[in-house]
Structure 1
């Protein structure tokens, strides 16, 4: 990447971060006025989803719902609740949360009833399983889910995840940016074979995929240098719980949109993955 492109990308990251920060501030202020900023769930012990609980294709959102940082039911998640839950659970900054939250609303099926407040609320809420809708947040090429053509694009798929882990190897205690990029690249390259019924990723899907990789690197790693703890990442993907028992601690420093987008750029800059076979 040329120096001019790097400068342009850096400026774009700063502008996006600034704009989302302004919007996030407004949502947080509204949440305080309406009492939505209060943590109504005191017990954040992990609990398996019960019958009727809604879950998404995103292991991190499911994890936070399983701990009660998001509604355990997975229903009627507001932008304010999303920001507060991600902040309390992993200290994700509001501007970073909105990268996901604003897209999630595009898939929302929540509806209001009765009062005008109920209708307004329905415009800024979503159910976790609304995110199963293909082409909004969910996309082919997931590290741990099957593709939409298979008929189930949201349940954890052990065989997909196991194939991706082969790229990492058995001895790596941490996942570097390069290894994370190779894991992502392998899954995308193998997509047509894993999903013979159809596989497709748009430019936006590829960008979302890189952001998702950047997010777990930042949450479980060392700043913008990668190095995510492998066992922590595996617990989140495989069990959908925070790896507190394994030593994970919520970052004292908010994880910002600028940091995640910087990691995204680094992930995308890595070349093709070697064949793990």
Structure 2
């Protein structure tokens, strides 16, 4: 049953003010502006979990995945009840990580935020990966205006993601997509129809209203109709109904559809310092011969590879590392795979140094 998102009373819209933190995620920004999470943008992951469930109806598996990625990306090697910023790095003394100060989600390139965003620039293309780029937002609005069929709302984002991958390879000399970036980059565009479609009684499966989408992204129009964007003004519109009962596993069919239709979206590797210099990751070398690129498309190997590389790439000292791995395991199980019964090849280590051929990885990597 559709559920109306409350935007009145305690959840009335209040734009961000001086001292409030806002970052690259319009969902978190709009939740803060409606007090589903603390308005100042300094939050705990428990608050994000509860707030996203109350606001957008996100399920626990999706929240757990976002929590683990966010703590990794924000350099927060701390318990899930430790506060961090959804935006810029907070001043010294506000919050601090146990092993290192949290950077805030704005500064999480190739961890929480990756290249080929739907509405943001690549960090190494224009130096800013957290500001909404008006031409990109306008392009998304134009795509949904041209094809308003609710049944196509996911397919439109699949097409846009493929276009953005092509753009990044052609314009960002440091474009990089590793195994984790593949998962994040594939999931982010599909969040738009999952979170920002209005599931009203008329459209129970969700309908993308361009006015609603513009509002949630903080977009506005001048009297002449020209689009502009203002930081901190992300707003959930009136009469907006959340997606009831969705969770991370609901993305899986769209992943498969996108990767099948657009092979350029199922890539691992990166440019090597110049545009259009993309070199695929040598999967065989990376996995010490356990897998190769051809094997990933056969049988259960892709499920095994994603599960095992997740275990190896997410820092073991991260408080939510086990949770992250369990979420990935749940996603794999939702496709119909049981890891315990797959008889996966033994992958005990990966050659992280193989990623050093990609300057985009080198520039943004963290100690693991």
* 1:75-154 alignment runs, 5 A limit: 75=42, 77-108=43-74, 124-129=82-87, 130-132=104-106, 133-149=108-124, 150-154=126-130
1:65 CA displacement: 1.1
Is the contact made by 2:198 and 2:242 (CA closer than 8 Å) also made in structure 1?
no
Corresponding residue number in structure 2 for 1:184 = 161
Alignment of 1:69 onto 2:36 = yes
Instruction: Indicate how the Cα distance of structure 1 residues 189 and 227 shifts in structure 2: closer, same or farther if over 3 A, else same.
Output: farther
How many angstroms apart in 1 are the aligned matches of 2:182 and 2:205?
A: 19
TM-score normalized by structure 2? 0.52
Is the contact made by 1:104 and 1:126 (CA closer than 8 Å) also made in structure 2?
no
Q: Which runs of 4+ in 1 moved over 6 A?
A: none
Alignment of 1:260 onto 2:218 = no
1:94 CA displacement: 1.9
Q: 1:242 aligns with which of 231, 236, 241?
A: 236
1:138 CA displacement: 0.6
Instruction: Indicate how the Cα distance of structure 1 residues 80 and 123 shifts in structure 2: closer, same or farther if over 3 A, else same.
Output: closer
1:123 CA displacement: 6.7
Give deviations 1:15-58, integer Å, cap 9, x for gaps. Answer: xxxxxxxxxxxxxxxxxxxxxxxxxx961112211112111211
Is the contact made by 1:164 and 1:186 (CA closer than 8 Å) also made in structure 2?
no
Gaps of 5+ in 2: 1-7, 88-103, 220-233, 265-368
Higher share of residues assigned helix: 1
- Count of aligned pairs between the two proteins: 217
Corresponding residue number in structure 2 for 1:206 = 182
- Greater Rg by CA: 2
How many angstroms apart in 2 are the aligned matches of 1:64 and 1:103?
A: 19
Instruction: Indicate how the Cα distance of structure 1 residues 230 and 186 shifts in structure 2: closer, same or farther if over 3 A, else same.
Output: farther
For residue 213 of structure 1, give the secondary structure of its aligned residue in structure 2.
Answer: helix
Instruction: Indicate how the Cα distance of structure 1 residues 98 and 262 shifts in structure 2: closer, same or farther if over 3 A, else same.
Output: farther
How many angstroms apart in 2 are the aligned matches of 1:141 and 1:242?
A: 25
Give deviations 1:201-235, integer Å, cap 9, x for gaps. Answer: 3332232122122222223267xx97641423333
Q: RMSD value over aligned CA atoms?
A: 2.9
How many angstroms apart in 1 are the aligned matches of 2:147 and 2:263?
A: 19
1:144 CA displacement: 1.0
How many angstroms apart in 2 are the aligned matches of 1:100 and 1:131?
A: 11
1:139 CA displacement: 0.8
Is the contact made by 2:198 and 2:209 (CA closer than 8 Å) also made in structure 1?
no
Bigger shift: 254-263 or 182-191? 254-263
1:70 CA displacement: 1.3
